[in-house]
């Protein structure tokens, strides 16, 4: 890998597709990795099932067989194993409600957050998630963030927490993170 003339030893080749910049894994990097991937190799039948699951889950996903074949082919190019493909579909369904916010590029971005794609093309940013995919762990809805910050501070060295310098102890950080709920009550004004 160090003496590769294609990637200058980085292991990746930058590809500019116009709207997106991606990194494709260099041949030297692929050869240096183990050739066997744990799990069941992805078959066209399993990829088709995964594509159908996704299309049944996301709003505005392709309904025709031709549209689903495009997704199946993309899964075949990206995923080594059935486990990768089904994890990808489940994660996409958890992150997206609509196909137009996900698409093939979104699927690739999600896959790249955990695995190296079979075709070596890596995407870390899309218009929906420009800073990358959110963590799978997330913050539990029931956890009080302000209490967590205060409890961490109490276990510390006794010094004032830099987080608490900017957050008053009486504020509700959980509420501040949630988007406002619109008032959908009908107006009482007569027209």
Mean pLDDT lowest among 34-48, 80-94, 105-119, 166-180: 166-180
More confident call, 117 vs 169: 117
Distance CA(123)–CA(109), nearest Å, equals 5
DSSP assignments along 28-63, one per residue:
HHHHHS-S--SSPBP-HHHHHHHHHHHHHHSBT---
Structure tokens at 171: 């504020």
Distance CA(191)–CA(188), nearest Å, equals 9
> Model confidence at 186, in pLDDT bands (50, 70, 90)?
low
Q: What percent of the chain has pLDDT over 70?
A: 66
> Model confidence at 141, in pLDDT bands (50, 70, 90)?
low
Whether the per-residue pLDDT at 169 is higher than 70: the answer is: no
pLDDT in tens, 28-75: 766 555 444 689 999 999 999 999 999 999 999 999 999 999 999 999
Q: What is the pLDDT of residue 37?
A: 61
Q: What is the pLDDT of residue 159?
A: 46
Whether the per-residue pLDDT at 76 is higher than 60: the answer is: yes
Q: Where are the domains of the chain?
A: 37-110, 145-177
Q: What percent of the chain has pLDDT over 90?
A: 46
Q: What is the pLDDT of residue 146?
A: 45
Which residues, including other chains, have CB under 8 Å from residue 73's CB and lie 6 or more apart?
A: 47
Mean pLDDT lowest among 16-20, 22-26, 39-43, 172-176: 172-176
Q: What is the chain's mean pLDDT, rounded?
A: 77
Q: What is the pLDDT of residue 28?
A: 72
Q: What is the pLDDT of residue 32?
A: 54
Q: What is the pTM of this model?
A: 0.58
Cβ atoms within 10 Å, residue 182? 6
Q: What is the pLDDT of residue 189?
A: 60
């Amino acid at each position: 890998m160090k003496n590769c003339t294609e990637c200058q030893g980085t292991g990746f080749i930058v590809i500019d597709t116009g709207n997106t910049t991606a990194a494709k894994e260099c041949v030297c990097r692929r050869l240096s990795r183990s050739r066997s991937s744990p799990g069941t190799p992805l078959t066209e039948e399993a990829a088709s099932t995964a594509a159908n699951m996704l299309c049944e889950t996301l709003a505005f996903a392709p309904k025709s067989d031709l549209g689903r074949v495009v997704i199946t082919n993309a899964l075949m190019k990206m995923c080594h194993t059935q486990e990768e493909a089904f994890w990808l579909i489940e994660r996409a369904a958890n992150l997206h409600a609509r196909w137009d916010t996900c698409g093939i590029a979104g699927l690739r971005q999600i896959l790249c957050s955990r695995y190296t794609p079979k075709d070596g093309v890596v995407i870390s940013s899309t218009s929906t998630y420009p800073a990358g995919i959110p963590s799978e762990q997330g913050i539990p809805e029931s956890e009080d963030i302000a209490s967590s910050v205060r409890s961490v501070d109490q276990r510390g060295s006794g010094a004032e927490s830099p987080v608490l310098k900017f957050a008053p102890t009486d504020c509700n950080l959980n509420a501040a993170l949630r988007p406002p709920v619109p008032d959908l009550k009908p107006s009482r004004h007569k027209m």
